[in-house]
Amino acid sequence: MVVSAHAGDWLWRSGGAIGKVVQDGGEAVIVALSFGERGESGELWKQPEQTVENVKKIREREVRSAAAVLGAAVHFFDLGDYPLIVDRAALDRLTELMRDFEPDAVITHTEMDPANPDHPEAHRATVLARKLAIGAGVPAAFKTITPPALYVFEPHHTELCGFSPNTYLDITETFPRKTEAMARMAAQQYMVDHYTQRAENRASFGRRFGRNQAMRYAEAFQRLIPEVVDTL
């Protein structure tokens, strides 16, 4: 489950992870807390007499199309952006979705992002929903789920957000589909080169740290909750 502040954030930063899990027979679900109608739709606002409602419609179409390429379902919360505010009702909805879907892994934004007011809000809500879904408080009083792994994806401004990757995911196999999904985001085509280069860059680090020398494209994540293992 990927929780994205704006409609497109999930794709650039974790589209490969989503494509990979589906390719391997798993399921992926995306929560888009807003359509990114003000924050990430710059190209659309260049059109004269553009409206918020129309921008939202176009973003929804693009995002559904990109998610379909990767085989993921999308839930749009339509909470508005700049600022994004996740209120009690939205928090309950997110928690319910988490309880229903019972994800193995939850991915969201970093806790800190000096360039963006909405990404930390998505982080806060996701961490809180996860705690509620796994039964913080009195577990017996709620339906609870097995604690999913918690990751943050790589932010746009890596260093400024205190992001320190400890997980590199090989997305080489699924990268053609991520590329196709990125092509569906007509309003943000300026992002494609940037995230293609980053995937190459992350793969070069991954080759250094891992055993897979064939890795061409990778996504970086930071795992926030300790991993429990039987053996090292």
- Chain residues in the site for Zn ion (CB under 5 A): 5-6, 9
Residue placing its CB nearer to Zn ion in the complex, 37 or 170: 37
Q: Strand pairing partners for 106?
A: 150
Residue placing its CB nearer to Zn ion in the complex, 9 or 121: 9
Residue whose Cβ sits closest to Zn ion? 6
**Closest separation in Å from C-beta 211 to Zn ion:** 34
**Closest separation in Å from C-beta 121 to Zn ion:** 11
Residue 64: which H helix or E strand, with range?
Answer: helix 52-70
Residues 6+ apart with CB under 8 A from 79: 33, 34, 85, 86, 87, 90
Residue placing its CB nearer to Zn ion in the complex, 95 or 108: 108
Residue placing its CB nearer to Zn ion in the complex, 82 or 205: 82
**Closest separation in Å from C-beta 163 to Zn ion:** 14
**Closest separation in Å from C-beta 118 to Zn ion:** 6
DSSP character for 146? P
Token pair for 75: 């839930």
**AA letter at 109:** H
**Closest separation in Å from C-beta 74 to Zn ion:** 15
**Closest separation in Å from C-beta 13 to Zn ion:** 9
Residue placing its CB nearer to Zn ion in the complex, 156 or 207: 156
Residue placing its CB nearer to Zn ion in the complex, 215 or 221: 221
Residue with tokens 């059109």: 47
3-state secondary structure of 115: coil
**Whole-angstrom Cα distance, residue 217 to residue 116?**
26
Q: List, edge to edge, every strand of the sheet that includes 167-170.
A: 73-76, 29-32, 2-4, 105-108, 149-153, 218-223, 167-170
Token pair for 196: 């293609």
Residue placing its CB nearer to Zn ion in the complex, 151 or 170: 151
Which residue, 95, 87, 94, 74, is CA-closest to 10?
74
**Closest separation in Å from C-beta 180 to Zn ion:** 21
Do 63 and 75 form a contact (C-beta atoms < 8 A)?
A: no
**AA letter at 76:** F
